[in-house]
C-alpha cells in the first residue's frame, strides 16, 4: 500500500496482494521509519461508517472504509472510492483509496508486477 499526501488530501493505492489481504483481514497497515520514530498508515474496514473517513492519532493515519465498499471492491472493476471528509471543526480532508495500476506514473523504478493491469492498456 502506498500513501500520497498533498495539502489536505490523502491517497492510498493498493496492489493486488494488498487488496487480497484487506478483503481477508479487514485491515492493512504500513510503516515508514524515521530513525527512532515512525509514521504508520492504515486502511480499516468500518461496520458503522457510510463514507470514507480518517483520523490521525499517535503518528498513525487511519482511513476507514465502509463495510459495503470493502465487501464489493475486490470482486468488481471499481477503481476506488473517494470522499471529502469534514471534521467536527469544519476542516476538510479529501480521501481517495484506489487500486494501484501499472504504468500510471510513467517511468517508475519500483516493481509493478503486483499492480493491477492498466485499464487502458497503455503500458509501454
Predicted confidence (pLDDT) per residue in 66-85, tens digit: 999 998 887 788 889 999 99
Q: Is residue 78 a part of any domain in this protein?
A: yes
Q: Is residue 60 a part of any domain in this protein?
A: yes
CATH number at residue 57: 3.30.1360
Its domain, for residue 61, covers 2-99
Neighbours of 106 (CB within 10 A): 6
Q: Is residue 106 a part of any domain in this protein?
A: no
Task: Please give the average per-residue pLDDT across 58-63, as a whole number.
Answer: 96
Q: Is residue 112 a part of any domain in this protein?
A: no
This prediction has a pTM of: 0.81
Q: Is residue 109 a part of any domain in this protein?
A: no
Q: Is residue 75 a part of any domain in this protein?
A: yes
What span, in angstroms and rounded, lies between the C-alpha atoms of 50 and 64?
Answer: 10
User: 81 and 97 in contact (C-beta within 8 Å)?
Assistant: yes
The percent of residues in the chain predicted with pLDDT above 90, rounded, is 69
Q: Which of 33-37, 42-46, 62-66, 120-124 has the lowest mean pLDDT?
A: 120-124
Cα 22 to chain centroid, rounded: 10
Q: Is residue 123 a part of any domain in this protein?
A: no
Q: Is residue 108 a part of any domain in this protein?
A: no
Structural domains counted in the chain = 1
At residue 103, does pLDDT exceed 80? no
Amino acid at each position: 500500500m502506498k500513501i500520497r499526501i498533498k495539502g489536505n488530501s490523502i491517497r492510498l493505492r493498493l496492489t493486488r496482494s494488498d487488496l487480497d489481504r484487506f478483503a481477508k483481514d479487514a485491515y492493512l497497515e504500513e510503516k515508514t521509519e524515521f530513525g527512532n520514530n515512525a509514521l504508520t498508515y492504515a486502511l480499516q474496514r468500518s461496520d458503522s461508517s457510510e463514507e470514507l473517513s480518517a483520523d490521525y492519532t499517535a503518528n498513525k493515519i487511519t482511513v476507514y472504509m465502509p463495510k459495503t465498499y470493502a465487501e464489493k471492491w475486490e470482486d468488481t472493476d471499481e477503481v476506488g472510492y473517494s470522499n471529502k471528509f469534514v471534521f467536527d471543526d469544519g476542516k476538510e480532508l479529501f480521501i481517495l483509496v484506489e487500486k494501484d495500476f501499472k504504468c500510471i506514473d510513467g517511468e517508475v523504478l519500483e516493481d509493478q508486477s503486483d499492480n493491477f493491469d492498466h485499464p487502458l492498456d497503455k503500458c509501454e
